[in-house]
Structure 1
């Protein structure tokens, strides 16, 4: 095995990072060089957008710092959250991209389903119903008749850095405009929805070379560095780094703002039962299928903490709060973590209390009690999704892997083990960045000529200490 150094740009819905990844014989490590906030901002009309101008500045500054620390960086990979995009017109980004939680998507759903019923959509794109999927957003996007193209967030960042126009396939699979059987753009579907097919960029696979960074100007990073396509949907990168020894008997939960709960398949499942269960078939690295369900994850806890901090004016020690929550005794009420009333920012504790009252359940009187209810409700949703994934894919599962920030939440991991009846292996925390780095490293040949996903996962198992949680009777 050879090795080297790469940089990973990892953009989440609440924060972003630039990481240095070092890969070699017995070496797989990350160094964070920049971390910055990310989130929705409202314009004068109340519409939610991303502050992409600030995000771009953070990314460039982070890459410059990475190159200062490691001038020999071999390449850069970019991953981000899915579905959102920027509109390119006249060679420039036209305005700040919309945030997927903006209310405009409601009209988009109505417009799309009036043309193509959802059951047909599911057969074509394999995606669960989420009201913010890209095709619903594009259905209400104004001014597309004069646009040059549409680029998903990681492709948009790559374009700004290199000038290359492309759509990485794993993220493109979340738009609703990719044929789930062929992995190509569904031109007929786009035309039926009134979306110009020439707005959709050429597709590339993870590992493809996109271009070389500019050296000067607003988006220059100060050196010419190749940019390589990775699993640019952050969950696709995270699943690369799930340390499964046997994907046929393992479920995974990539847990952060969202909990992506599912299994890895070779072929999509687009049965009526899968559609009714709202399971999605998203593209994975090496043509694998990420058969999963979106569950509202730690967003519920982070939004509740934010509301409590605003109320008290004091910073909450989250580990201490979770320790208190774990000590709460007695019957713990749970609510539907996926209830639509919990999807928007705002006073999360009040909305959760309203759900509990609606169902005739007690509302906790302490923050620790509230935190326990939130964690148990997330775990209950995880367990339900794991069981459904096993049933729909006709698999017998033996273990659940939890990766991402949620793997640090011991209460959540233990509750997930208890509710699934399966052992939970927690880690790595930085699965998304690791998957980003691993795909770049493989593209450079550092794992040998015929390295597979299993090769990359074996490297993760050898380098990460996993925490095991056994189900309690």
Structure 2
């Protein structure tokens, strides 16, 4: 469906470290993006607990809408996507009961094993097909119950982060499917909450708003938001609320023979499947089955990503300012293949010092201990590339088709050094871009809701028409093959 007249939408894309408001305009089978504003999304530490500031995020959206008004931009709708699993609890009066915990809060360490006393691990996986991770919504809620949280008995509704923010804009509550699918409470075959899991945490289906699917119109902005922004008749669309689901939709693939790597604070590597893949092998490999924006299943693995670099950067900046490009350059100039880490080791989840944690890991595994910024960054980048190789090999075992290409999307697509390392490590071409895949997917789903975009194939053609895709072909695979066994020798199962 060709769109000759320009139609514009606003994407609110909230990551676990920053957020942005992006104006997307679709015209002549192309999409043009413009950044309206960008802002940090800091985790708040209060009395040894880690929280997100819900009202701060809401206010950032309001400010973005005020800027839309002040610049006389004509937008059709707004859509919100965020990271997965986290949620807000609301009381019967429709007010939030407290600020939402961050998934990085240490209170859920050990939570899965505690829950398995109610429902065994394998049974839980077969019900949901979701990777066992301590911060999954199910385990967060069970921890609130076990800790006798004062709010638990008075919870009326649990809304995941994008749904909670959409509610603050519209006054209407929904549960968008892709974000709910990260919770480990959804049956991927029925697309509904599993009642036995809810009963295990003393909740019911009534504690959640009705499930809707990507492209659903939630409603218009409330009179309060109209007053604050000067905008009227603006629709709020339930896009793929999980940022990875939005990003995968914007993968510029031409066929199905690909894997994707959504690269940001987290690296999420997976394939698209027509159905959930839940069996003994996926259970053993701890792969996850999450909802796709088009009704498909995203069979994927969560891998720790740029979090490692982000946390090290904060420490290096205690001495002097440093840019990400300076970190990459320092890594490029450092000696290769001296030491490796398992990026997904629990010791890197929320350490007091990431640099110290990396050095301790190398010491405990009898490796060279990196000292300089370049050595530490090189250790991280090489370890990530080898971890990608590991996970991609597992994906190929599970896929019903040959994987020819790895598409890297998201902010990490701009890291040419890591893209080069990854191509060499996996021995396959890497196609990088778009870096703003999440916002693009968000915009395209709003376009679908507006009736100007049809299928996933059409959406991906628009992406290919609109961006430059950089290809990284493997050139030093033999050298990387020689050191893969060194990585495996110090990789510790978690």
2:129 aligned with 1:123: no
Question: What pairs up with 1:133-144 in 2 under 5 angstroms?
Answer: 133-141=136-144, 142=149, 143-144=151-152
Q: Please report the RMSD computed on the Cα atoms of aligned residues, expressed in angstroms.
A: 1.5
CA contact (8 A) 1:19 1:433 kept: yes
2:460 aligned with 1:457: yes
2:340 aligned with 1:334: yes
| SS of equivalent to 2:101 | coil
The residue number in structure 2 matching 1:241 is 250
CA contact (8 A) 1:105 1:132 kept: yes
Which of 364, 367, 376 pairs up with 2:373? 367
Q: How far 1:395 moved relative to its partner?
A: 2.9
CA contact (8 A) 2:335 2:375 kept: no
C-alpha distance 56-272 of structure 1, shift in aligned 2 (>3 A): same
2:89 aligned with 1:95: no
Question: What pairs up with 1:340-355 in 2 under 5 angstroms?
Answer: 340-355=346-361
The residue number in structure 2 matching 1:229 is 238
2-structure distance, mates of 1:379, 1:57: 38
The residue number in structure 1 matching 2:276 is 268
2:322 aligned with 1:316: yes
Q: How far 1:182 moved relative to its partner?
A: 1.2
Question: What pairs up with 1:149-228 in 2 under 5 angstroms?
Answer: 149-216=157-224, 220-224=228-232, 225-228=234-237
CA contact (8 A) 2:157 2:209 kept: yes
| SS of equivalent to 1:104 | helix
Q: Which moves more between the two structures, 14-23 or 392-401?
A: 392-401
Which of 398, 402, 426 pairs up with 2:404? 398
C-alpha distance 132-21 of structure 1, shift in aligned 2 (>3 A): same
1-structure distance, mates of 2:309, 2:393: 24
2-structure distance, mates of 1:271, 1:109: 20
| SS of equivalent to 1:82 | coil
C-alpha distance 404-341 of structure 1, shift in aligned 2 (>3 A): same
The residue number in structure 2 matching 1:287 is 295
Q: Which moves more between the two structures, 157-166 or 46-55?
A: 46-55
Provide the TM-score with structure 1 as the length reference: 0.96
CA contact (8 A) 1:390 1:396 kept: yes
The residue number in structure 2 matching 1:413 is 419
CA contact (8 A) 1:303 1:345 kept: no
C-alpha distance 276-24 of structure 1, shift in aligned 2 (>3 A): same
Q: How far 1:66 moved relative to its partner?
A: 2.0
The residue number in structure 1 matching 2:21 is 18
CA contact (8 A) 2:44 2:51 kept: yes
Unmatched 5+ stretches in structure 2: 477-494
C-alpha distance 452-218 of structure 1, shift in aligned 2 (>3 A): closer
C-alpha distance 264-146 of structure 1, shift in aligned 2 (>3 A): same
Question: What pairs up with 1:45-56 in 2 under 5 angstroms?
Answer: 45-56=47-58
Q: How far 1:61 moved relative to its partner?
A: 0.6
Q: How far 1:108 moved relative to its partner?
A: 3.6
| SS of equivalent to 2:117 | helix
2-structure distance, mates of 1:356, 1:234: 33
Q: How far 1:105 moved relative to its partner?
A: 1.3
CA contact (8 A) 1:400 1:423 kept: yes
2-structure distance, mates of 1:197, 1:277: 30
1-structure distance, mates of 2:449, 2:460: 15
The residue number in structure 2 matching 1:61 is 63
